Amino acid sequence: MAIELKIPEVGESITEVEIGGWLKNQGDSVKKDDPLVTLESEKATVELPAPEAGRITQILKQQGEVAKVGEVIGYLEKDGHAEASQKAPEPKAAEGKAKQPEQPAAPKPERKPEAQGENKTDEPRAGREEPVSPERGTPARREIIRPLSQVGSEAGAPRPAPDRQEEIVPMSRLRRTVAERLVEAHHNAALLTTFNEIDMTGVMALRKEYGEAFQKKYNVKLGFMSFFVKASIDALKQFPAVNAAVRGTDIVYHNYYDIGVAIGGGKGLVVPVLRNAERMSFAEVEMAIGDFARRAQENKLKPDELQGGTFTISNGGVYGSLLSTPIVNPPQSGVLGMHAIQERPVAREGQVVIRPMMYVALTYDHRLVDGREAVTFLKRIKETIENPARMLIEV
């Protein structure tokens, strides 16, 4: 008996998803819990596992199509006996066509020989849809490819070389949602950014002294992120407006600290949340972030893990960023941007010395946070990181 492959519940308030791509083809044998297809919602990308071992007999929804929660997108025949109980419609239709008498082929329009100077076989026509090769995507995905020479002629610009082409690829649902939220942040909040720089000597000395023992005990490296999570919580306690949100005409002050950590995933940037991060140890923070990073690459983060943060930390330094202005994740009122560590000459007690320095940035919603609060908040993080012992004695 065929088993229906239905769209599962993927998160609160999510009623439909977009088919991201089938990981198995029609007719493939699968084991129980094998991932069959990726499902893209506005909050996360998840995989639909095989409910039983068997064979995929029919695929009803292709990549890029939208399906509602509970809708059937395919069929799986348990134990692989697909042929005995269900026939796919495509072979049946093909068989019917084979029995029909042959029809005379329609005459083809005459074409000028290539010798007359016309040779268009190397250049696709404008607006033509071409199936993507397996190396570039699933066979069901289609992209529009047209030469830039055509675009130039439409705009009245000089014709570029004929081998210049453009490729049109639909945005994923997750990417569209990220874009919408970033625009929303600019439209609905009064964003401003303040900067500072941090001497990382103290933290780097601690990591060098205790890093090996830390890794042996907890089986995870002692990174920089746990220090900044702890320093941010310390500063948020001092300045609760940065941990607050605007709700209509009210201000909501959170008495807990759910810290979002921006991570580059397989489908783009995601921000999983450390729930009640104030209760977590350094090791728990590092283990949670490592787990988030692994599952983000595999597109296995759950939608509820990406919701409800009260403050966000983004580390562009891992990609080499020296300075940036991060964007607040609504409805939060603040985001901290970390950047690359560089050795720079700085003045210390009348002497010029070389120190590992990091620029940091705080973007905040000026509707809630005054400039004085924002500057002092970032200064508090600077002082805590430069004197990490204060995180232990809370002074």
Q: Which domains does the chain have, with CATH numbers?
A: 2-87 (2.40.50.100), 126-168 (no CATH), 175-393 (3.30.559.10)
Q: What's the pLDDT score for residue 156? A: 57
Q: What is the full DSSP assignment across 245-280? A: EEETTEEEE-SS--EEE-EEETTEEE--EETTGGG-
Q: What's the pLDDT score for residue 179? A: 79
Give the span between the Cα atoms of 257 and 129, in whole angstroms.
Answer: 49
Please list the alpha-helical segments (H only) found in the chain: 82-85, 89-99, 148-155, 173-188, 201-218, 225-238, 282-297, 371-386, 390-393
Structural contact between residues 10 and 44, judged by C-beta atoms closer than 8 angstroms: yes
Residue 368 burial by Cβ neighbours in a 10 Å radius (0-12, 13-18, 19+): buried
Nearest by Cα to 50 from 85, 89, 23, 83:
23
* pLDDT confidence tier of residue 314, bands split at 50, 70 and 90: very high
Nearest by Cα to 71 from 121, 163, 9, 128:
9
Reply yes or no on whether 28 is catalytic: no
Is the pLDDT at 88 greater than 70, yes or no?
no
Q: What's the pLDDT score for residue 393? A: 61
Question: Is the pTM value of this prediction over 0.75?
Answer: no
Structural contact between residues 168 and 126, judged by C-beta atoms closer than 8 angstroms: no
72-78 and 2-6 as β-strands: parallel, antiparallel, unpaired?
antiparallel
Span 110-115, average pLDDT:
47
Q: What's the pLDDT score for residue 200? A: 97
* pLDDT confidence tier of residue 125, bands split at 50, 70 and 90: very low
Comparing 337 with 188, the larger pLDDT belongs to 337
If one counts every other C-beta atom within 10 angstroms of the C-beta of residue 274, the result is 25
Nearest by Cα to 241 from 328, 326, 365, 330:
365
Residue with tokens 């500057």: 375
Is the pLDDT at 113 greater than 70, yes or no?
no
Comparing 105 with 366, the larger pLDDT belongs to 366
Comparing 372 with 39, the larger pLDDT belongs to 372
* pLDDT confidence tier of residue 21, bands split at 50, 70 and 90: confident
Reply yes or no on whether 370 is catalytic: yes
Q: Which of 33, 79, 186, 366 is catalytic?
A: 366
Q: What percent of the chain has pLDDT over 90?
A: 52
Is the pLDDT at 235 greater than 60, yes or no?
yes
